[in-house]
Structure 1
Amino acid sequence: MDAIDRVRNYLKERNPHLEIIEFDQDTSTSYLAAQALGKEVGQIAKSILFKSKAGDYYLVVSAGDVRIDSKALKELVESRVRMANAEEVSAITGFPVGGVCPFALATPVPIYLDESLKRYDIVYAAAGTANTALPITYQELQRITGGIPCQVSLPPR
């Protein structure tokens, strides 16, 4: 089963009313996704995988226009972390960099939903490929991911 079908199946069980948008163009960055959707960069929910020194993984989902505060994340997970590399992202999430969906992961990992997303009624998460988007509310994202609300972002530039 390919990545987008895995996401569709996950949604069927949890909220079949959510619909994936597929594009002909690349939407692998917050900027490209915002351009394709005609939205603000902040409305793009970017999913970033982090790895601790002990080998634990954490997925942080934040607004597309913020940076993650490494000190705040270190305090949250009680360990120093680094961004996972492309091979780790693919192996752990089952999705390519630029298409990481915050659910239907290949390997269950703790999911943290940064409160920077709450500025918007609807945010757009990748849906398994570098040319998909899924419009969703913060509350629904929290419900279907089991994500833990947190504040680990620096203010937008």
Structure 2
Amino acid sequence: MRRRKLYVQADQIAKTLAFSFEDRSFVVVTSGMTRISNQKFKKVFNQRPRMLPHDQVETMTGYQIGGVCPFALNDG
């Protein structure tokens, strides 16, 4: 399979991150260059950010790690 250059900058790519919070999970869609600020996250949610454990990502989202889509997620 031949790879093609897309000429896309990292900040032009949408990055989907999956977090667990208490008994719920949620995704955050952000620029490919953006990092989650622990301080800001804790200020909003009153706890440090916890990424969804890798063995739960596909079950919770319906997608494998590295390919989590920001829409058409599993119900719940």
Output aligned runs, 1:73-88, within 5 Å. 73-76=41-44, 78-80=45-47, 81-88=49-56
Task: After superposition, give the CA deviation of every residue in 1:49-86 in whole Å (9 maximum; x if it has no partner).
Answer: 0112x22212111111121112212333x242301122
**Residue matched to 2:67:** 99
- The alignment's TM-score, normalised by the length of structure 1, stands at 0.42
Q: Percent identity?
A: 33
**Residue matched to 1:130:** none
Count of residue pairs the alignment pairs up:
75
Structure number with higher helix proportion: 1
Task: Report the 3-state secondary structure (helix = DSSP H, G, I; strand = E; otherwise coil) of the residue aligned with 2:43.
Answer: helix
Corresponding position: 1:41 with 2:10: yes
**Residue matched to 2:40:** 72
1 or 2 for the larger relative contact order (CA 8 Å, sep ≥6)?
A: 1
Structure number with higher strand proportion: 1
- The alignment's TM-score, normalised by the length of structure 2, stands at 0.80
Output aligned runs, 1:5-154, within 5 Å. 36-52=5-21, 54-76=22-44, 78-80=45-47, 81-108=49-76
